[in-house]
A and B are shown apart, each in its own frame.
Chain A
Amino acid sequence: MDRAGSAAQHIDLSACDREPIHIVGSVQPHGFLLALDPRSLVVLQASANAPAAASVGTALESAYPELAALAERYRDAGAEEDGALYLRTVTLGLGPTRQSYEVAAHRIDDLLVLELEETDDASGEAGLDALNPRLRAFVRRLHGARGVEDLCQLLAQDIRRLTGFDRALVYRFDRDWHGTVLAEDGNGVLPSYLDLRFPASDIPAQARELYRRNRLRIIPDAGYVPVPIRPGTTAAGEPLDLSQSILRSVSPVHVAYMRNMGTMASMSVSILVDGALWGLVSCHNREPRRVPFQARNACDVLTQIFALQLSAKVRGEQAEQRLALGAVQGRLLGFMAEEDSFVDGLLNHPDDVLALVNASGAAVVTADRCRLLGAAPPEAEVRALYAWLSARGEADDVYVTECLAEAFPRAAGFADRASGLLAISVSKRYASYILWFRPEVVRTVRWGGNPVKAASPDPEGGPDRLHPRKSFDIWKETVKGRSLPWSLPEVEVAEDLRASVLGIVLRRAEELAAMSEELQRSNKELEAFSYSVSHDLRAPFRHIVGYANLLKNREGPNLSDKGRHYVETIIEAAFSAGTLVDNLLSFSQMGRHALNRVTGDMGALVEEVRRKVLRDVGPERVVRWEVAPLGRAYADPAMLRLVLENLLSNAVKYTRGRDEAVIEVGRLPPRDGESVFYVRDNGVGFDMAYVDKLFGVFQRLHRVEEFEGTGIGLANVRRIVERHGGRTWAESRLGEGATFYFTLPVREEAH
């Protein structure tokens, strides 16, 4: 990175992300490193500060038998654990060169790496035994801690006590890898960073990955001069992988960062929760400071205990939330199952819908419906959002964001209602969504220095280099357009609801499919039946009528009066049976044929029907027609014609005895979205006591000698009108005529 190209070259922040810090090729000078052939224990690589006795090419056995024995034991134990393992403290050399070292070993690639870290003789005895009471006390206090911040505070205190650093911070990463200092313990030498936020670029991605793999790092003296490892590459031609090394030299950028912070020693311990990097314990000292390996191990153990406790706490809180949300979900599922449409189950219980994920607004949106609940954005905006969601074409079943405007800029206009969005897709085929909204929560974040880190030109005119920021002064930022984050249980319960909705919808669809299959089958049967009635049942009646007529016409003179009367009766009876079959057929056809609605002129239709009905009116009748302007109607003309035929021919029929029949056809003012038509006559009327029977099949209120008929006409009228979504009724007084009403829904104008 130091040798980066021309001065004009743009250096962006993510350049830090690409710095290969795990193969930096050097170690810190507070110890030395030996890379050994694991079989022969011959030194293959060594840091430049290793004793001459352990130079490259020598067998460890001949130089330091005690070390070789340790290495052999480590090798033969076949330790599988990731990371360096502390073996023991050894003392090498005599007289003035006598020095104690803490020996740690790890395997990397096909090498055995020994690292010997300088230590004072005395500190070597601070074993785990000495730490035992402290650990026990720590665990006890952790149990008493109320919240996550309490836990963090305890950890900061104990780690600082163990290590003696000036300041210990517990630092938590958020979703964007920005860090916030949750707890701090210090002696006042270094400034307080409590509550400050540090940008993600302070700890680049590959550093975070190293932190995950190697839980503890220490830099005893930021003023150190790195010691190179020789030779620079392994037998495989690669630089030695130092990701497990405890002496690994750190990035020059990081050292500069430490100097800028005014700290000469640092140690950090990774906090891993469920294998993921949750945060760090970050310790600093103004002066250089060494921490014995044993103390560091104790810090690691403390931190792991903390992480377990933390994980348990977080899980406990989530379980509690899951339980609470689960109860809401259970209620909602009950409501949805009760309703014909799951949407109604949701819409009728807005409080539970919102409580399900602690949202302040919600919407159920399909291509033709958009229903809003609670504090949702305006419908037009929700529709635009719906269009955007369905157009994304990604297969996400759940879409979650705390900052909608980042992905959907138009949302900035309604951030007060929907900065947070949780969306579930409940039908792929018909693009349907349930959306939950959360309002913007404006927060002030106190950054530890301006988070916009920049590369600055080298004042000495050298190539640009990446400088970490120099100021850690508090820099306040107002964060807008963000909602409170959606918690894991909230997202999960939304996913669950989605699965349930799909289940309900699927079950409904299956039921409908089964029902429609059944309907189709019975419709087919009915069709076949009706066909055979049409063709086969009519024929015998025709034949009876035909032969009886032939008998009457050709053999009439040979019959007695009685015989002729019998023949007449046969003809009449067979004829009426045949007519009945015809009427039944038309009744069944009415129900089976599809409605084909168009708007047309009602007056013209009535006139046409009136003319047809008149053909059957004998010349002796006097009929006065009073047809008012009828306007237009929206109906199937063929079916409506049948309605009018029945009503008008009834009017003509039942006024038969009047000197002057008066038949009115009119239209009432529309009401409740219906057009109301009526046909009135001054005929014999009927007793209102039987009005309920009037429109039934085969219901007749008159004797057949008075008025012929099969009792199907008005049943047909009602059936047709009801298929159009209208109603029928009648009013009459016996002997004073009757009025028959029918309604047709007014056509809803297309949007």
Chain B
Amino acid sequence: MAALKPILLVEDNPNDIELTLAALESSQLANEIVICRDGAEALDFIYRRGSHEGRARQDPAVVLLDLKLPKVDGLEVLAKVKGDPGTRAIPVVMLTSSREETDVVRSYNLGVNAFVVKPVAFDEFFAAIKEIGVFWALLNEPPPHRGGWPSNA
């Protein structure tokens, strides 16, 4: 069996990174957690280029994507990933502070898998992160590979 797929957290705010990591920690997942600080780096990771050129050929189990990011924003990353047949199957969860309805609508139109508005209440936030991590990293069955070589071929 291949190594556990990493969880990709795309977030520019260090506080949010720390709080999210704390929450994921409490869910006791064994997956590696990769952090990208902007949308451009997230795309580099997903497409194994730039500073991520040498990484193992493996899609993340889930991308936790903030909406508002430097360089390439969350919606652009989402559009790129979901618009590409090669990466479309990667689950993307918008994890954001925005409550703007237009953002929600646009995200779903672009094919987001879930849209989570980070709750202000800490318990709820913790619970949400834990559930997301457990669900997407453990429970969710990804689509089988078809028409392509196994990732470690």
Q: Answer yes or no: B136 CB below 8 A from chain A CBs.
A: no
Q: Which partner residue on chain A sits nearest B126 by CB separation?
A: A549
Contact mask for chain B residues 43-59; partner A; CB cutoff 8 A; 1 contact, 0 none: 00000000000000000
A593 to B121, CA, bound (A): 27
Let me know if A578 and B120 touch, CB within 8 A.
yes
CA distance in complex: A417, B32 (Å):
90
CB-defined interface of A138-173 with B at 8 Å, one 1/0 digit per residue? 000000000000000000000000000000000000
Q: Tell me, rounded to whole Å, the shortest Cβ–Cβ distance linking B40 to chain A.
A: 19
* B16 and A543 contact, CB distance less than 8 A: yes
Q: In A534-555, which residues have CB < 8 Å from any B CB?
A: 534-536, 538-539, 541-543, 545-550
A538 and B122 within 8 A (CB): no
Contact indicator B121/A539 (Cβ below 8 Å): no
Residues of B within 8 A of A579 (CB): 120
Residues of A within 8 A of B96 (CB): 535
What's the nearest-Cβ distance from chain A to residue B78, in Å? Answer: 16
**Are the CB atoms of B101 and A589 closer together than 8 Å?**
yes
Look across to chain A and name the residue whose beta carbon is closest to the beta carbon of B13: A539
Is A549's CB under 8 angstroms from B15's CB? no
- A546-B15, A550-B22 given as contacts; is B122 within 8 A of A539 (CB)? no
Question: For residue B16, which residues in chain A have a CB less than 8 angstroms away from its CB?
Answer: 539, 542-543
With the chains together, A427 CA to B120 CA distance in Å? 56
Chain A interface residue count, Cβ-Cβ cutoff 8 angstroms: 26
Contact A542 B67 (CB under 8 A): no
B100 cross-chain contacts in A, Cβ below 8 A? 530-531, 534-535
Complex Cα gap A589–B101 (Å): 9
A312 / chain B contacts, CB cutoff of 8 Å: none
Q: Mark B36-77, 1 if CB is under 8 A from A, else 0.
A: 000000000000000000000000000000011000000000
A550 to B99 CA separation, bound complex (whole angstroms): 25
Q: How far is the CA of A538 from the CA of B13 in the complex (A)?
A: 13
Q: Determine the chain B residues whose CB is within 8 A of the CB of A545 once the complex forms.
A: 120-122
B99 contacts across to A, CB distance below 8 A: 534, 538, 582, 585-586
Tell whether A546 pairs with B13 under 8 Å between CB atoms, given A531-B100, A534-B98, A535-B96.
no
Q: Is B98 touching A546 in the complex (CB atoms < 8 A)?
A: no
Within 8 A of A (CB), among B1-28: 13, 15-16, 19, 22
* Residues of B in contact, count (CB < 8 Å): 21
Task: For A533, give the chain B residue with the smallest CB separation.
Answer: B99
CB contacts (< 8 Å) of A86 on chain B: these are none
Whether A571 is near chain B, meaning CB under 8 Å from some CB there, is: yes
A677: Cβ under 8 A from any B Cβ: no
**Does A335 make an interface contact (CB < 8 A)?**
no
CA distance A541 to B67 in the complex (A): 18
From A535, A542, A547, B120 is in contact (CB under 8 Å) with A542
How many angstroms between the C-alpha atoms of A470 and B121 in the bound complex?
Answer: 111
- Closest chain A CB from B109 CB (angstroms): 17
Cβ-based interface call for A575 (8 A)? yes
Indicate if B87 sits at the interface (CB-CB under 8 A).
Answer: no
Q: Is the CB of A542 within 8 A of B118?
A: yes
Residue contact B19 to A541, C-beta cutoff 8 Å: no
Say whether, besides A541-B120, A543-B15, A582-B120, A535 and B101 are in contact (CB < 8 Å): no
Contact B98 A535 (CB under 8 A): yes
CA distance A535 to B126 in the complex (A): 19
B140 close to chain A: CB less than 8 A: no
Contact A546/B19 with A535-B68, A538-B120 known, Cβ cut-off 8 Å: yes
Minimum Cβ distance to chain A for residue B122 (Å) = 4
- Shortest A515–chain B CB gap in Å is 25
Chain A: CB-nearest residue to B20: A546
Which of chain B's residues have a CB closer than 8 A to the CB of A534? 97-100
The residues in B between 119 and 147 inclusive whose CB is less than 8 angstroms from any CB of A are 119-123, 125-126
Q: Mark A718-731, 1 if CB is under 8 A from B, else 0.
A: 00000000000000
Distance in Å: Cβ of A241 to nearest Cβ of chain B: 83
Name the distance in Å between B32's Cβ and chain A's nearest Cβ: 23
User: Which residues on the B side are within 8 Å of A582 (C-beta)?
Assistant: 99, 120
Contact digits for A547-583, partner B, Cβ 8 Å, 1 yes 0 no: 1111000000000000000000001001100110010
Cross-chain contact A535 with B97 (CB below 8 angstroms): yes
Query: Which residue of B97, B101, B122 is within 8 Å of A546 (Cβ)?
Result: B122
Per-residue CB proximity of B102-121 to A under 8 Å, as 1/0? 00000000000000001111
Contact B122 A543 (CB under 8 A): no
**Measured between C-beta atoms, what is the minimum distance from B98 to chain A in Å?**
5
A411 to B73, alpha carbons, bound, how many Å? Answer: 69
Q: Which residues of B contact A589 (CB under 8 A)?
A: 101
Can you list 28 A-B pairs, Cβ within 8 angstroms, ordered by A? A534-B99, A534-B100, A535-B68, A535-B96, A535-B98, A536-B97, A538-B118, A538-B120, A542-B97, A542-B119, A542-B120, A542-B125, A543-B15, A543-B16, A546-B15, A546-B19, A546-B125, A547-B15, A547-B19, A549-B123, A550-B19, A550-B22, A550-B122, A575-B120, A578-B120, A578-B121, A582-B99, A585-B99
Interface residues of B (CB under 8 A from A): 13, 15-16, 19, 22, 67-68, 96-101, 118-123, 125-126
9 further A-B pairs in the complex, CB-CB below 8 A; given A543-B15, A546-B15, A546-B122 = A534-B97, A534-B100, A539-B97, A542-B16, A542-B118, A543-B19, A545-B121, A547-B19, A575-B121
Q: What 4 A-B pairs have minimum CB-CB distances, sorted nearest first?
A: A578-B120, A549-B122, A546-B19, A543-B15
